A and B are shown apart, each in its own frame.
Chain A
């Protein structure tokens, strides 16, 4: 699975924008969801200031989540199920000009 961080979010994980990750299924569940991915990211990828990326068990306000170039609002947010080779992009909204 590919993950991309944009709009400054890459600064939170060693300035690396694209991460290729392989997540093991936990507790015998057969479907991996966005909720699982976020908790995996929080433990394994975010190096500093987790509050800049997450709030509670979801992303913080101002972060758009795209699963295969589509807003996760359209696929069930945290319940979006993920498959092999899905591309997840996290974008922090920009305000500058």
Chain B
């Protein structure tokens, strides 16, 4: 990027920031002005506003939430309860985004947001609360600004930090209802345990691919997360949205349902989804609500003889328990000796020198279709075993085409997305007699970083 481009981008950023600040000031001042005008009106009126019976709702509130008030099953009492309630949303991502929008719009009195991450363009397909102007900025700031612009009359609290055993008790204790909108197993156990020791209901949602799950834990004697899942799943069974993909609208639906459940609890209306679990299968258009076990007497967290206290919570090692780090950095395996690996730069030189070789890309076929390196052949890792003959014949063909010139045999290289599966593939290839097979360190992501910044990453 040239210096002048840089300068313009920086100025644009500064101007956008200033614009947002001004917009916030305008809406705050407008709200203030309206309030003063209303007070003046009330004062000039022969009737003082306190002479009307409104169940504690102001004229503004009655106007804003009128469609809630018109609902016989929700009504003034439901809205008054909601206005007095406080809800904490942990995670301002795909689940938290729609939930937060509805909480703000519906008038939750105090709305807390916890997140340590920044807004990323490749998450915006599902994190609909964030706008392009906030890319690279903290999600909490972005989400809080969106909530305030929808409803300037509620209190929005920003917790711009990762939830940990050291701060969770303090943060969660300030709210009536907790919404788990996070994306990993250790945090889910941590939030559930914290809700148990603090006695808070937990509205839990999850989504991946085209499926979603929803239930309410620790509500009115119902089960907690550990009652259902006393032992954490093996790490290999926990896929993330970054690795498995997710259709944006799926967490959107689950997040909306989380908002619904939390609003019901806050307003004290209806039957919360406790002791039951909603399962969404978006692809087939099926929603199933199943009956799940009640509170387990043997539960380590909430059972009869549980010794799980606030102190124990503070000392509990969730990363160790689930064998998963709380903040998930992509795993970097190191399975091969260095002579069996080459860097993406070295591989680019092999292409330039036209050295005879075959490049096998072991990513799943649908990822290969997104983008691939020139002349690579796609053999997904799971099919490598049965497609070994294709590797042999490709090598043979390459040797026939160029062997006469160089006199040397064709080399075999393996690539994947980040350089883990390619090592597994090379290990297998070595075992099967392709002893010179080598993998490209860091996969196509490294190619994009170190060889060609124009190469698309996903």
Contact = CB atoms under 8 A, between A and B. Distances in A.
A34 interface: no
Given A7-B211, A8-B209, A92 B237 contact: yes
User: Which DSSP category, helix, strand, loop or mixed, fits chain B's interface?
Assistant: mixed
A96 B241 contact: yes
Given A71-B293, A95-B183, A48 B233 contact: no
Contact of A62 (B205, B212, B233, B290): B233
Nearest to B209: A8
A61 B233 contact: yes
B246 interface: yes
Contact of A94 (B93, B96, B213): B213
Given A66-B290, A70-B290, A52 B93 contact: no
Contact of A61 (B206, B207, B232, B239): B232
A96 B207 contact: yes
Interface string A60-96: 1111101001110110000000000000010111111
Contact of A97 (B206, B239, B277, B382): B206
Interface in B274-305: 277, 279, 281, 284, 288-293
Contact of A93 (B94, B183, B233): B233
Q: How large is the interface on A (under 10, 10 to 19, 20 to 34, 35 or more residues)?
A: 20 to 34
Contacts of A60: 233-234, 237
Contacts of A94: 206-208, 211-213
Nearest to A93: B229
Contact of B290 (A71, A93, A97): A71
B380 interface: no
A64 B292 contact: yes
Interface residues of B, number: 46
A61 to B, nearest CB: 4
A93 B213 CA distance: 8
B281 A6 contact: yes
Given A93-B213, A96-B244, 17 more contacts: A7-B208, A8-B237, A52-B237, A60-B233, A62-B229, A64-B292, A74-B291, A94-B206, A95-B208, A96-B183, A96-B206, A96-B240, A96-B241, A96-B246, A96-B251, A97-B95, A97-B181
Contacts of A17: 284
Identify the 3 closest CB pairs spanning chains A and B, nearest first: A62-B233, A61-B231, A96-B208
A66 B291 CA distance: 8
B133 interface: no
